Amino acid sequence: FEELLTFVPYMHRFLSKKRIRHHIFVLNQVDHFRFNRASLINVGFLESGNDTDYIAMHDVDLLPLNEQLDYSFPEAGPFHVASPELHPLYHYKTYVGGILLLTKQHYEMCNGMSNRFWGWGREDDEFYRRIKGAGLQVRRPSGITTGYETFQHLHDPAWRKRDQKRIAAQKQEQFKVDREGGLNNVRYRIESRTALNVAGAPCTVLNILLDCDMSETPWCTFG
């Protein structure tokens, strides 16, 4: 919540200055299952409405500091703003997490993200393989000279520990490509949709109840 109070007004100012029309959707998981970032992004995509033509999959704890970063319509393919050459933590070549822009058409071509990743991590590595499988090329910023100082990372691991446990078959499953699921089978209910104003910046908070097929992904709970 503390990160959100910083993120919403900061990004509203940042994008407004660049004259990019935008709306911030806060995807808040309120069920009793383990955190599922990929399913939440699928829900955000489905609930964002017909007046949006592209999405930014944007972590709440990552703020762009360099105004040269491009957040415009990614017509030529997925545009990875938080490139491995710039992200303060993750530097491997196939990394596409943090901040990724996609047209709605391209996200649908990938069938969104896999819903099988409960707990922290790996879902964006699987999504990289989906992007490639859809015949799309990931593009990244060029001419940015601020290196690892390009973003501010707000996450404090001492205050907000991430659920990185791998339970039972999840250890093997996390490296597989999910060829069946994604946008087509995300199971959820919107508990509430609230329009908020954070320090003058508008956003919509979606309180989301995800559902889990225990026979398919028993690791959605701690057992």
The residues, ordered by sequence, that sit 6+ positions from 47 with a Cβ below 8 Å of its Cβ are 25, 190, 193, 206
Locus of tokens 């047209």 = 103
pLDDT computed for residue 121 by the predictor:
74
**101 compared with 61, residue with greater pLDDT:** 101
pTM: 0.91
pLDDT computed for residue 180 by the predictor:
86
User: What confidence tens digit (pLDDT) does each residue in 77-132 have?
Assistant: 999 999 999 998 888 899 999 999 999 999 999 999 999 999 877 899 899 999 99
Distance between CA 213 and CA 177 in Å, rounded?
Answer: 18
Locus of tokens 């964006």 = 124
User: What confidence tens digit (pLDDT) does each residue in 131-161 have?
Assistant: 999 999 999 999 999 999 999 998 666 666 7
Query: Is residue 68 predicted with pLDDT exceeding 90?
Result: yes
Domain ranges within the chain, ordered by starting residue: 1-20+30-156+164-210
User: What confidence tens digit (pLDDT) does each residue in 159-211 have?
Assistant: 667 666 766 666 667 667 778 899 999 999 999 999 999 999 999 999 999 99
pLDDT computed for residue 199 by the predictor:
94
pLDDT computed for residue 160 by the predictor:
66
CATH architecture of 1-20+30-156+164-210: Alpha-Beta Complex (3.90)
pLDDT computed for residue 50 by the predictor:
85
pLDDT computed for residue 222 by the predictor:
82
pLDDT computed for residue 71 by the predictor:
97
